[in-house]
A and B are shown apart, each in its own frame.
Chain A
Amino acid sequence: MSHAAFLLPAWLFAIGLYGVITSRHFVHLIGCLTVIQSSTYVLLLAVGYRTDAAAPIFANLPIGTPAVDPVVQALVLTDIVVGATVTALLLALALQVHKRTGTLDPHELRPLRR
């Protein structure tokens, strides 16, 4: 039962993957990729969580108070910001595809159709 929280990252990963496979629109596909990304965030934060512990910020807390793991939080917060710029790069690629071929549907881009 205590592992039930880890079902959320697994679910987000699976549903995002399903979206990527079945997507008929590149922009929608990139949106599904952000869901897969968010599954890694939830997983990392869930691993570093400790029941009844404080946030790792000791501005108003005495040092030595039980706190959650700051390392995973540091990894996640930079990745959210950096991931957004990579998503912007993917959107630019999608726009390039649209400019060159006139479509945003991955199925119409299969080499056999050319």
Chain B
Amino acid sequence: MTSLRTIIAAFLCAIALGLASAGLYGLPAFGHYPGPYGDIINRQGPAERHATNMVTLVNFDYRGFDTLGEEFILFAAVIGAVVLLREHRGEEASARPDQADEAPIPERSEAVAFGCRLALGITALFGIYVVLHAQLTPGGGFQGGAIVGSATALLYLGLGYPAWRGMMRSRVLDTAEAAGALAFIGAGLAAIGAGAPFLTNLLPLGTTGSIVSAGVIPLLNIAVGIAVAAGFGTLFLEYLEETREPESGGEQ
């Protein structure tokens, strides 16, 4: 039964592989990007917007509206996950770890704790650097936010659950995430208020290569960075709560 299922699945996926390969064969050859959209941006972008990272420029200026949509998919997905996880558990859980079996929970090794504490500050700082230099060097709000988010996982690994709970206040994270999303919309509406289309880059462009250049792009990146970092912080918090003993649980 199972093996027949596997054989049928393998057969169907081999057909999918053949069809996908045949379809992709119609694309321009690898290494021969035909343009011209990307080429025009590469030629005009630096002069028009005083930014040097074209990827951030596309994300937060030329296709800023698209990114607004992405930001709200992120927002909605985080809210959905939080609502689903909290449904059974309620808002509060105790700080004691719950056990999956009778074996005692092993102590965190000194080396792991030390390594995580060492990496924690560097990772968080690097994430903030990546957000702030969005329009200049590789990086931006999404990547920097994800790096800061991964630093919060190090916080848990290095300092343990009580310290992590003390720092990760769900109220602060929720507010930060909503504020990041709101700031993006606010920047868009501010442009409308000034009589231009939504999300027009109206702020002074500054000198190319400066950290405050490229108008509204750094502000949008900071907003997205905060929202993404808070989003992943919230997800870690809610998932880790799942592994705690319930506050009023009468099971033990």
A and B touch in the complex (CB under 8 A): yes
Q: Is the CB of B32 within 8 A of A88?
A: no
Q: Is the CB of A96 within 8 A of B43?
A: no
Q: How far is the CA of A11 from the CA of B17 in the complex (A)?
A: 6
Q: Is the CB of A81 within 8 A of B17?
A: no
**Which label, helix, strand, loop or mixed, suits the secondary structure of the A interface?**
helix
**Residue interface mask B113-153, A partner, CB < 8 A = 1:** 00000000000000000000000111010110110000000
Given contacts A6-B24, A6-B25, contact A81 B84 (CB under 8 A): no
Asked if A109 lies at the interface with its beta carbon under 8 angstroms from chain B, I say: no
Q: How far is the CA of A48 from the CA of B84 in the complex (A)?
A: 38
Within 8 A of A (CB), among B45-64: 45-47, 52-59, 63
Residue from the set B20, B43, B78, B145 with the largest chain A CB neighbour count within 10 Å? B20
A15 to chain B, nearest CB (A): 7
Chain B residues positioned under 8 Å from A58 (CB to CB): 42, 46, 52, 54
Chain B residues positioned under 8 Å from A93 (CB to CB): 84
Q: Is the CB of A70 within 8 A of B228?
A: no
Q: Is the CB of B143 within 8 A of A81?
A: yes
Q: Is the CB of B16 within 8 A of A13?
A: yes
Q: Is the CB of B85 within 8 A of A95?
A: yes
Q: How far is the CA of A92 from the CA of B237 in the complex (A)?
A: 13
Q: Is the CB of B42 within 8 A of A89?
A: no
Asked if B67 lies at the interface with its beta carbon under 8 angstroms from chain A, I say: yes
**Which label, helix, strand, loop or mixed, suits the secondary structure of the B interface?**
helix
**Residue interface mask A84-95, B partner, CB < 8 A = 1:** 111011011101
Q: Is the CB of A10 within 8 A of B67?
A: no
Given contacts A57-B53, A81-B228, contact A68 B78 (CB under 8 A): no
Q: How far is the CA of A70 from the CA of B235 in the complex (A)?
A: 30
How many A-B pairs have beta carbons closer than 8 Å: the answer is: 179
Chain B residues positioned under 8 Å from A70 (CB to CB): 38, 41-42, 45, 54-55, 57-58
Chain A residues positioned under 8 Å from B21 (CB to CB): 6-7, 10
Q: Is the CB of B88 within 8 A of A99?
A: yes
Q: How far is the CA of A21 from the CA of B4 in the complex (A)?
A: 12
Asked if B242 lies at the interface with its beta carbon under 8 angstroms from chain A, I say: yes
**Residue interface mask B48-92, A partner, CB < 8 A = 1:** 000011111111000100010010011001101100110110000
Asked if A59 lies at the interface with its beta carbon under 8 angstroms from chain B, I say: yes
**Residue interface mask B153-167, A partner, CB < 8 A = 1:** 000000000000000
Chain B residues positioned under 8 Å from A11 (CB to CB): 17
Q: Is the CB of B30 within 8 A of A3?
A: yes
Q: How far is the CA of A13 from the CA of B13 in the complex (A)?
A: 9
Q: Is the CB of B29 within 8 A of A59?
A: no
Q: Is the CB of A22 within 8 A of B24?
A: no
Identify which of B13, B25, B45, B52 contacts A14 (C-beta below 8 A): B13
Identify which of A57, A78, A85, A99 contacts B59 (C-beta below 8 A): A78
Identify which of B13, B30, B209 contacts A4 (C-beta below 8 A): B30
Q: How far is the CA of A56 from the CA of B65 in the complex (A)?
A: 21
Given contacts A13-B20, A43-B24, A70-B57, contact A2 B37 (CB under 8 A): no
| A/B interface sample: 18 pairs, CB < 8 A | A6-B25, A13-B16, A21-B13, A47-B27, A56-B41, A57-B137, A59-B137, A63-B43, A67-B54, A70-B58, A71-B37, A71-B38, A73-B58, A85-B77, A86-B77, A88-B78, A88-B239, A92-B81
